[in-house]
Structure 1
Amino acid sequence: MPRWSVYDGEEHWRFMEKLEARIRNHDREIEKMCNFHFQGFVDSITELLKVRGEAQKLKIQVTDTNNQLQESGKELLTEMEELRKCRSQQRNIAATVDQLTLCLPVLEMYSKLREQLKTKRHYPALKTMEHMEHTFLPRVNPYRFCTIMVEDIPRLREEIKEVSMSDLKDFLESIRKHSDKIGETAMKQCAVTLFWMQQMDVNKFAGLTEDETKNKCFWV
């Protein structure tokens, strides 16, 4: 049948009915397909909404974790800084202890020197001073108290010299004043000694012991 004959007479209506039936059939197929995929679409949307909620929760958790990490990092940095300061202080304390270990003998010896000067033990004081000057003070040379001691040693040495000379002069003056009495005492002692020696020689023949001779001389 030629194509143009479809539009003539009853064939036209027949064609339209078949076309409409075909359209309705396709509509039903489309509706079935839409109904079939609609539930999947709804489920997908539901899953997406759930995922969005979980993603939001995860984002909040990540933000909280990051904030906690930042705070922990700050605390860690603070503790590390404190640890660094403590270690620095520990090193300083150890260095101070080492230096005090060197300084204490010097201070003890200086105290000993002052005590010797106070009690007028001049010769031991000079020995202590020499020991300080050549042995201990060079070990702690950078410190101010060491510089003061080094500068003070010549003055102390001169002071010892002056005091010693003064004591010597007083001693000689005392000897000069008491020379007569000293001479008399010395002569008496020499006489006693000579007498004792003579008695020792005499008593050898008398059979007396040395102790008996001394006792005898004592009562003379």
Structure 2
Amino acid sequence: MPRWSVYDGEEHWRFMEKLEARIRNHDREIEKMCNFHFQGFVDSITELLKVRGEAQKLKIQVTDTNNKLQESGRELLTEMEELRKCRSQQRNIAATVDQLTLCLPVLEMYSKLREQLKTKRHYPALKTMEHMEHTFLPRVNPYRFCTVMVEDIPKLREEIKEVSMSDLKDFLESIRKHSDKIGETAMKQVSLLHHTDPIVHLR
């Protein structure tokens, strides 16, 4: 039995034509697909370029905003530091005023004490010292001038004692020296009273 082949006779040419037609169809399909995908690729590249441009603009804006924030942050930190210093100064001033409020009465009283000693008003001076020791000086104990005053008061008290004793001795010595004259004057006054008082005459 003879075998038929596509390579025999006209069948061969028909087969080749159909094959070429099929190849052309595939080529057109491939070309269409390539054109379609190429256009998509081009569109994607275009979009990427646009995104890149927008990203560059956004980067510039972000950098500018960051620089402004950094500058504002530095200014804010500077202002906060100034505010902290001002508040610290206010606290120091308030503390100083409070301490001066405590110290001024002590200094005024010490000045008063010195004036009393200068004018030899010894008893008021002793009362002032006592008031200072028990009331005012304990309030300002940490200060150096307070220590000086505390050390000075016993010396002043001893000075008052010595001056008072000296004045008393002078007074007693004066009385002793003038006792005869004082007695004579007293007797004269009594005698004069005796002669001039009518009640005495009646007796």
Shift of the alpha carbon at 1:103? 1.2
Aligned equivalents of 2:96, 2:111: Cα separation in 1: 21
Shift of the alpha carbon at 1:66? 3.4
Aligned equivalents of 1:200, 1:54: Cα separation in 2: 133
TM-score (norm 1): 0.71
Distance 1:3 1:100, change over 3 A: farther
Percent of aligned pairs with the same residue? 96
Shift of the alpha carbon at 1:18? 2.3
Shift of the alpha carbon at 1:95? 2.3
Q: Which string of whole-angstrom CA distances, capped at 9 and with x for unpartnered residues, describes residues 53-89 of structure 1?
A: 2122223333343344344434434443443343333
Q: Which secondary structure does the structure 1 equivalent of 2:120 belong to?
A: coil
Aligned equivalents of 1:97, 1:114: Cα separation in 2: 25
Distance 1:8 1:186, change over 3 A: farther
Q: Which secondary structure does the structure 1 equivalent of 2:4 belong to?
A: helix
Shift of the alpha carbon at 1:198? 10
Aligned equivalents of 1:21, 1:119: Cα separation in 2: 142
Shift of the alpha carbon at 1:35? 3.4
The equivalent residue for 1:102 is 102
Q: Which secondary structure does the structure 2 equivalent of 1:142 belong to?
A: coil
Distance 1:135 1:8, change over 3 A: same
Aligned equivalents of 2:186, 2:53: Cα separation in 1: 124
Shift of the alpha carbon at 1:175? 4.2
Shift of the alpha carbon at 1:27? 2.5
Q: Which secondary structure does the structure 2 equivalent of 1:4 belong to?
A: coil
Distance 1:42 1:179, change over 3 A: same
Distance 1:152 1:18, change over 3 A: same
Aligned equivalents of 2:111, 2:74: Cα separation in 1: 52
Q: Which string of whole-angstrom CA distances, capped at 9 and with x for unpartnered residues, describes residues 33-68 of structure 1?
A: 433444333222111111012122223333343344
Distance 1:43 1:177, change over 3 A: same
Shift of the alpha carbon at 1:15? 1.9
Aligned equivalents of 1:61, 1:22: Cα separation in 2: 57
Aligned equivalents of 1:12, 1:129: Cα separation in 2: 144
Shift of the alpha carbon at 1:111? 0.8
TM-score (norm 2): 0.76
Shift of the alpha carbon at 1:170? 3.1
Q: Which string of whole-angstrom CA distances, capped at 9 and with x for unpartnered residues, describes residues 99-149 of structure 1?
A: 221111111100111111112111111111110011111111122211111
Q: Which runs of 5+ in 2 are unaligned?
A: 198-203
Aligned equivalents of 2:84, 2:50: Cα separation in 1: 49
Distance 1:186 1:10, change over 3 A: farther
Q: Which secondary structure does the structure 2 equivalent of 1:15 belong to?
A: helix
Q: Please report the RMSD computed on the Cα atoms of aligned residues, expressed in angstroms.
A: 3.4
